[in-house]
A and B are shown apart, each in its own frame.
Chain A
Amino acid sequence: MKTAQEFRAGQVMNLDGQAWVVLKSEFNKSGRNAAVCKMKLKNLITGASQEPVFKADDKLEPIILERKEVTYSYFADPLYVFMDEEYNQIDVEKENLGETANFIVDGMQETCEAVFYEGKAISIELPTTIVRTVAYTEPAARGDTSGKVMKVAKLDNGYELQVAAFIEIGEAIEIDTRTGEFKGRAKG
C-alpha cells in the first residue's frame, strides 16, 4: 500500500477493484499538520474519470504494471510517440499523459518510463527532476537573489510556471515533475 500523497501522475491504483491511472495529483495542508490530496483519475477500462479527494495519509493500493525505458520521438496529435531500446514505437494518447505532457518537448534527452496495462502503453513517467529552458519571462528583478520572490515564466511548449525573480530568458531551470514546480537554476 502507498499513501495518497505518494501517488504521482502516471501511476495506477486499484479502487473498488478497478484500475485507475493518476492524471493529476495535488495536495494542500489542511490543519494541524495534516494534508489532503485531490487527484484526477481515469479508469483504464471504461475511460471514465473522477476527481476524488483523499487524506494525504490514506492508504491506497498501487497496481504494479510493466514498465519499459523509452525516449521521446515526436508528437502526432493525439499521440505522443516514444521509442524503446529496440526501436519499437510506443504510442501514448495525449489525454492519458495528463500533467506529464507539460514537460514533454522536442529534443528532450531524459529517459522516461512507459507504463503498460494489458499490453497497452497507458502513461509515461518522467524523472523526478528535469531541466527545461525558459522561453520567456519578464526581465530579472534587480537586487533580489533570495529566490523567494517569484514571477511567471513560459517554456518552449507554452507551459507556464512560477520561477525565482532572478531567472532570465534562455536560462535552464530544474523542475520537479511531481509538483510541476520550479526547483532552481540548472547546475552546470
Chain B
Amino acid sequence: MNIPQNWHIFCRVIDNFGDIGVCWRLSRQLAHQFRRSVTLWVDDLHSFQALCEAVDPTRAHQCIDAVQVRHWQDPLPHCEPADVVIEAFGCHLPEDYIRRMTRHRPLWINLEYLSAEAWVKDYHLNQSPVHGLRKTFFFPGFEAGTGGLLWEPQLQELAHADDAARNAWRQQLGLPESPGLTVSLFAYENAALPDLLQALAEHASPCTLAVPQGRMGAGVAHWLGHDLAAGDRYQRNGLTLVGLPFLQQPEYDQLLALCDLNFVRGEDSFVRTQMLGRPFVWHIYPQEESAHLAKLDAFLSLYTRDMPSPLAASLHTAHQQWNQPQHTQSLPWQTLLEQLPSWRRHALSWREKLQMHGDLASNIVHFCTNQV
C-alpha cells in the first residue's frame, strides 16, 4: 500500500488566530507523529508569527519545527501538488494549483469548522465532485461518526504533569503561588466581564486570574481603572490579576493545564481545555443571524448530558449569559465556582469520552491511507 507521504495544507487567516492555530497544530502533528512531509501555505505570516515566534514574516519559504512554511501569495509559486491536499476551512485553492491537481489527482480534503450540531455526522466524509476531482469534507466533532478533535498524545502528559512541573510553569508564566483558584481569561470583547471580575473578587477563596494580551484587554482595563500590561499584577479584594503576553501555543497549553477554570474562545483553546480535562466557559465566535447560538446549544446539550443537573443548569445559564450578555438574568458565577469539584470530575470523564473517537490528525491519516 502506498501511504501518502507529501502533504500540503492551505490556510487563509480570516481574523484572530483560530485558522492558523488549527493548521499549525495539525501540520506539526502530521510531521512529528506521522513522519509526513508537510508544507503549510499561509497567506498571513505576521499573524502566524504571533503564535510561533520562529516565523520570519519576510521569508517566503522557511522550515520550522519540521514543517515547510510557505507564504501563500497570488500567484502561487510553482509547485507540484502533494499526495494529500488539505484546504482548511474552505479557503479556496488557487485555480492554477487545482489545474495541476487534475493531472496529479491527489487526495483533496476540505477540513471544516468544528460544530456539535447533529447534521455534522451526516455531512462528514461526503464528497464534492468538482473540477473532475473528488473533494472530501472532513468535519471535526465530539461524537463517533465525526473526525474527532485535534489533540496529540503529548497533551496528555501536560494534563497529568506533577506538582514540580506545574510549579515550574507557574514561575515561567509569572503567576504567584496561590492557595486558592487559578483561572485563565481568553475571550472576545464581552459586556458580561465586569460581573465575572466582581464575582471572582468576592469569592470565598483567593483567586489568581491570568490574562494573556488579547481582545479582553480594554474590558479588564475599564474594570480596573487602568491597563493590565504583560507583567503587571494587581490586587482587588481576593482577586489577583496577572497580565501575560500573548502566549505561544506550548505556553498557552501549560497555562490551560495549570488552571482550575479556563475562559476560552473560538475553536483552538476551546478544544485544548477539553482535552486537558479542565473546566471551561466558552465564548463562541459570533456569527451573522446568531447562527452561533444554535452551535452553542448543540455543544452544551452534549457536554452536559451526563452531568449532575444542578451543575448542568448553572453551565447552561453561564454560557447563555457569557455569550448573550444582554440577558437580564444575573450570572451564576458564585454558584458555578462552588460546583468546581464536581465540574472537574465531569471534565475528566468528558475527556475520556472524546479520546475514544481518536484524534483528528490520526483520523485524517487513517482515512487517506485507506483511500490509496
Contact = CB atoms under 8 A, between A and B. Distances in A.
Interface string A22-63: 000000111111101010000000000011111101100000
Interface stretch (B30-38, B122-130, B143-151, B201-209): B122-130
A188 B66 CA distance: 69
A59 to B, nearest CB: 9
Contact of B90 (A29, A34, A50): A34
A15 interface: yes
A53 B127 contact: yes
A96 B117 CA distance: 30
A15 B126 CA distance: 16
A173 to B, nearest CB: 22
A58 B115 CA distance: 21
Nearest to A57: B90
A34 B123 contact: no
A179 B126 CA distance: 21
A16 interface: yes
B267 A31 contact: yes
Contacts of B137: 36, 53
A36 B123 CA distance: 9
Contacts of B90: 30, 34, 36, 55, 57
Interface of B: 14, 18, 89-90, 110, 112-115, 117, 119, 122-123, 126-130, 132, 137, 267, 285, 287-289, 291, 294-295
A29 B291 contact: yes
A116 B194 CA distance: 63
Interface of A: 15-16, 28-34, 36, 38, 50-55, 57-58
Nearest to A38: B123
A30 B137 CA distance: 12
Identify the 4 closest CB pairs spanning chains A and B, nearest first. A31-B113, A53-B126, A29-B291, A55-B90
B132 A58 contact: no
Contacts of A55: 90, 110, 128
A30 B130 contact: no
A51 B123 CA distance: 9
Contacts of B117: 28
Given A36-B123, A38-B123, A55-B90, A30 B112 contact: yes
B129 A53 contact: no
Contacts of A36: 90, 112, 123, 137
B119 A32 contact: no
20 contacts: A29-B295, A30-B90, A30-B112, A30-B115, A31-B113, A31-B267, A31-B285, A31-B287, A32-B18, A33-B287, A34-B89, A36-B112, A36-B137, A38-B119, A38-B122, A50-B129, A53-B123, A55-B90, A55-B128, A57-B90
A31 B114 contact: yes
A182 B272 CA distance: 40
B127 to A, nearest CB: 6
Contacts of B130: 54, 58
B113 A32 contact: yes
B141 to A, nearest CB: 12
B112 A31 contact: yes
Nearest to A32: B14
B126 A38 contact: yes
